[in-house]
Structure 1
């Protein structure tokens, strides 16, 4: 793909006539086949917005669910998918510092409440959803942050006895259990908890995923399909676990309660497998257990802003690397094969699925 080098004037640039971009869109919900590669006019940032030239777009299960019509009702006639990505600020709207043009950024929630996500050569979004990305941090790291890392931060900061912000030392002395440490959010939980000083345990479903959780930085990895996982967790954490970041509450609740210390927290961001959840209320009451449900979109602006700041600091410190050697294999597709990227997510591809918008 030819990349045109063009330096726009700041603040609502006058676009050259006929200037357009390639984008993926879906006019109706359905399977991956509804995704189309089209030419669209180059978007112009409005007040408080920036335009980002996208290098890499991240694909999350939420993106796939939105395209399929199961996450929420389709709110616009045509949608360009994907919440996360990374690239370079290319233009600024009124009220935004024009000095941001040329800034490398990672992008989150680009398509949240908007019709235009990062599966396009350019994306316009609120300026605070484009976060500076240091030169030494690759675009694939930036594109893999967003929803997974911010969700992980939220999970790690909801305990009654724990911190509301993460930094080195913030979780010193704490024991964190990351359920599914080979998944995108679980991987980020392991990395952020380790960066913040916690002793990190992870449960996984087999040796291959155990190797990934170990590569991510987990101190102890337990195969919940082999032997006695409760005994294995208890052996690693005799006094119990302070916090569980849970991806499959229905399937794992009994294990979580068996290893949780009094006043401990189960922070659940998904119920993979869709199993029913049954609570033993008296047992929870007597141990003062906190069961925290969480989703990034309704976490509130203060919690999101704190997560963005801390995740940005961790990324700048080199604490959130990606790739198989760091526990998060990357599966990559070019823009025109975005439908195949969605199929990969639907098939349960381990690691992170990325779309390379600009080679």
Structure 2
């Protein structure tokens, strides 16, 4: 097997992913024992993470330059290495392992992949973001039926799936998002209370309507939204930190106020960090559950209305997601860039 394929490589730390990365040619090779050779069809976009690694602002991932990029991809197996028995040529597979995403082909250990029913983008979203939603809400958030759940960035790729999973458990859902279009979208999913932070104060609404009533609050934004969730957590409630989109620099914000211990102790409440990469042992079970819900028509995947194609489209997709304009899951169709 000879020839080359294209991939996005981060070559320098820079203010933006676009400024630090470039498309490069890599040598094609046959899979070694225990490896798969996969032709990528679609890539899922994690623009916040991409921007933070470009700025060297992700403490938990040490980046050695240069590095390939991208986390999520779905494709088909083209060849398997010696000793591989669970995969065969033609299988549709997904990976959520960095850096398997932003490249035409992926050659990696078989343990980096999971089978999906077909090479359709819905299965990429479910195997990556759907699993993350289930892990954040049910594993880390320890959700119980009928609880009150608050979700920030509720119209995003992760948020719109968390909204649906919470509703399936009979929960009262409070969804936070920005703008009328996103608000209408989240309402269409069935959220009971939608807070448009561009038109209302999240702090004021929660204090007036949900004082000490949030059993589970999942925040991926940080800043004042995290503060509002924390202030209104219920007795024995759980505030789940799944990101900090408002802090692309990855530097702790210095806040002068009482320690959160005083807000937690008398309620028996907790703040819990959600890092999906640390929960890989639980992914297969979560994947089976979200796949079954989707197959039964109970969990739908909504994609952002903009279409991004080819490796060149990854840069536009990252910019779009970071801009805060995206709604639903952002993906890139890589098939147009393959030769």
Smaller-chain TM-score bracket: 0.7 to 0.9
Aligned partner of 1:44 among 8, 30, 42: 30
The residue that corresponds to 1:151 in the other structure is 132
Alignment of 1:1-359 (within 5 A): 15=1, 18-30=2-14, 31=16, 32-60=18-46, 61-71=48-58, 72-75=61-64, 77-97=65-85, 99-111=87-99, 117-135=100-118, 139-145=120-126, 147-158=128-139, 162=142, 171-227=144-200, 229=202, 232=205, 240-274=213-247, 275-276=253-254, 278=257, 279-297=259-277, 299-323=278-302, 328-351=304-327, 352-359=329-336
TM superposition score normalised by structure 2: 0.81
Q: Give the CA deviation at 1:56.
A: 0.8
Equivalent-residue separation in structure 2 for 1:48 and 1:316 (angstroms)? 31
Write the deviation string for residues 14-43 of structure 1: whole angstroms up to 9, x where unpaired.
x2xx34323232333334144333332224
Check the 8 A contact 1:67/1:81 in 2, yes or no.
no
Check the 8 A contact 2:45/2:314 in 1, yes or no.
no
Listed as ranges, the gaps of 5+ residues in structure 2 are 248-252
CA RMSD of aligned residues (A): 3.0
Equivalent-residue separation in structure 2 for 1:211 and 1:139 (angstroms)? 27
Structure 2 vs 1, CA of residues 185 and 35 (structure 1 numbering), >3 Å: closer, same or farther?
same
Q: Give the CA deviation at 1:246.
A: 0.8
SS of the residue 1:56 aligns to: strand
Structure 2 vs 1, CA of residues 218 and 45 (structure 1 numbering), >3 Å: closer, same or farther?
farther
SS of the residue 1:57 aligns to: strand
Listed as ranges, the gaps of 5+ residues in structure 1 are 1-14, 112-116, 164-170
Equivalent-residue separation in structure 1 for 2:5 and 2:79 (angstroms)? 15
Write the deviation string for residues 127-179 of structure 1: whole angstroms up to 9, x where unpaired.
243222223xx63223334553333222212467x35xxxxxxx532222111
Check the 8 A contact 1:203/1:224 in 2, yes or no.
yes
Q: Give the CA deviation at 1:89.
A: 1.8
Equivalent-residue separation in structure 2 for 1:146 and 1:98 (angstroms)? 18
Equivalent-residue separation in structure 2 for 1:146 and 1:155 (angstroms)? 14
Check the 8 A contact 1:25/1:80 in 2, yes or no.
yes
SS of the residue 1:288 aligns to: coil
Equivalent-residue separation in structure 2 for 1:93 and 1:217 (angstroms)? 47
SS of the residue 1:157 aligns to: helix
Structure 2 vs 1, CA of residues 216 and 45 (structure 1 numbering), >3 Å: closer, same or farther?
farther
TM superposition score normalised by structure 1: 0.77
